[in-house]
Amino acid sequence: MSGQPPNALDEPNALDGPEPAEADLTEADLTEVDLTDPQTFLNRDPAPMWRRFREHSPVHWHPTEGLMPGFWVLSRYRDVMSVYRDNRAFTSEKGNVLTTLLQGGDSASGKMLAVTDGVRHREIRNLLLKAFAPRVLERVVAGVRRRTERLVRTAVERGGCDFAQDVAEHIPMATIADLLGVPESDRGYLLTLTKQALSAEEAGQSAQDSLVARNELLLYFAELAEERREEPTGDVVSVLATATVDGEPLTEEEIVFNCYSLILGGDETSRLSMICGMRELIEHPVQWKRLRGGDVTVDSAVEEVLRWVTPAMHFGRRAVVDTDIGGQRIRAGDIVTLWNSSANYDEEVFAAPEEFDLGRTPNKHVSFGYGPHFCLGAYLGRAEIHAMLTALRTFVAEAELTGPGRPIHSNFLHGYSSLPVSLTPATA
């Protein structure tokens, strides 16, 4: 890789002791880690890698190939939180994930909540908060519980399933589709488009496929918004299509981009957490026993699954003024990436972070982000994972992997697109 940092870094200190194993990277090795390459996260256990970043280069300059700009990598919890909190020195309007930041920006900037700041961000967020208030979501959460119980019971009766494809992917997508008012007949189509838009399921998917799927999603919601504007039904699309701010309706772009954001964001975190949560319960039988026996609460188990999995590995910002982070000078215009997957394992915040502990408390993970852009759907996402863990605890005595999981190929999302399991039913 090539490129130079915008300011000189401190001279590295040599590590004492023998040459570490490949997974236990030295400070010099960190300069060779390519965080733009999804394969980086599949070739090694990321926990030791992030520990080395936190210890030896917590505010790390990452060069890139060709004409793309380099970027800063923040791996410590306190640094990540400082940027999440500060929407004056750091903006989301140039993109909020590495891919769009490196490409120069996001076409939805200033229109989609996730990549809008300032007054307009507050106005759109306040509109959507009404639809995501816990009181409003009571009926939706009841539906989540029924749907999850039915899917898990069916899988148990069959003796096994692909937990990713037969159970997990049907819960959050159906829930967000309920909120948006998407007809049942369209939901399979939307799930397919969602996967293609992220290009995250398999290696080798083209950028063109992703772009086409994204445009198809936007077109779909433009048509649905037009229907709801004529005949509102109380769903989120109706709220956006009929809302006004200072007497002015939202633009069509604001409506469709925010529907697109909700369908993607509402699916990713809870779906991938459910899939990985199932895998971790199988691989940590003591924790599974604690959950089944009631030695830990489902509430605390939900938070540990979210911390451990960290389905959205990073988010990004662009500096708008010169500032300092961890002793490094960040220049206006620099790209700064916030690695949740490292912050959630920071020894300064979490005791024994590399232990999967369903009873962990406190558990102040950043899997939903923090600050002005804290995930709108956090309450709903927690409710979905809670429903899944409750159903497993109720209906499953034992679970085993019956084949290798298929990991997602992404430098943004962490999880599996396939996870075959066998399920032994619990006795009455």
Asked whether residue 9 is domain-assigned, the answer is no
Per DSSP, 93 falls in state: T
pLDDT of residue 403: 95
Mean pLDDT value across residues 219-236: 93
**Is residue 213 over pLDDT 60?**
yes
> Which has the closest alpha carbon to 382: 283, 303, 328, 295?
303
Integer Cα distance of 245 and 212 in angstroms: 31
**Is residue 115 over pLDDT 60?**
yes
Mean pLDDT value across residues 395-402: 98
pLDDT of residue 384: 97
Cis peptide before 48 (omega within 30 of 0): no
Asked whether residue 13 is domain-assigned, the answer is no
Average per-residue pLDDT for the chain: 90
pLDDT of residue 33: 94
CATH code of the domain containing 182: 1.10.630.10
Containing domain of residue 245, as a range? 27-425
Lowest mean pLDDT among 11-15, 284-288, 365-369, 409-413: 11-15
Asked whether residue 12 is domain-assigned, the answer is no
Integer Cα distance of 288 and 270 in angstroms: 19
Q: What is the pLDDT of residues 29-38, one digit of tens each?
A: 899 999 999 9
Mean pLDDT value across residues 406-420: 94
In terms of pLDDT, which residue wins out, 322 or 10?
Answer: 322
pLDDT of residue 4: 44
Per DSSP, 92 falls in state: S
pLDDT of residue 21: 42
- List the helix and strand counts (H, then E) for the chain: 16, 14
**Is residue 172 over pLDDT 50?**
yes
Indicate the number of domains in the chain. Answer: 1
Strand, coil or helix: 315 = strand
Mean pLDDT value across residues 149-169: 97
Asked whether residue 265 is domain-assigned, the answer is yes
How long, in residues, is the chain? 428
pLDDT band of residue 190 (cuts 50, 70, 90) is confident
Asked whether residue 1 is domain-assigned, the answer is no
pLDDT band of residue 39 (cuts 50, 70, 90) is very high
110 Cβ neighbours under 8 A, 6+ residues apart = 93, 116, 120
Asked whether residue 22 is domain-assigned, the answer is no
Mean pLDDT value across residues 318-344: 97
Strand, coil or helix: 337 = strand
Lowest mean pLDDT among 169-183, 327-341, 349-363: 169-183
Integer Cα distance of 208 and 186 in angstroms: 23
Alpha helices, H only, 37-76: 40-43, 46-56
Lowest mean pLDDT among 65-69, 113-117, 310-314: 65-69
Q: What is the pLDDT of residues 52-91, one digit of tens each?
A: 999 999 999 999 988 889 999 999 999 999 999 999 999 9
Percentage above 70 pLDDT, the chain: 91
| CB distance 223 to 234 below 8 Å | no
Mean pLDDT value across residues 267-291: 96
Alpha helices, H only, 284-427: 285-293, 298-309, 340-343, 378-395
**Is residue 16 over pLDDT 50?**
no
Integer Cα distance of 196 and 74 in angstroms: 29
pLDDT of residue 331: 98
pLDDT band of residue 28 (cuts 50, 70, 90) is low
pLDDT of residue 13: 35
What angle (nearest 5°) sits at the alpha carbon of residue 284, between those of residues 280 and 290? 110
pLDDT of residue 234: 81
Asked whether residue 155 is domain-assigned, the answer is yes
Asked whether residue 350 is domain-assigned, the answer is yes
Per DSSP, 318 falls in state: E
Q: State pTM to two decimals.
A: 0.90
pLDDT of residue 152: 98
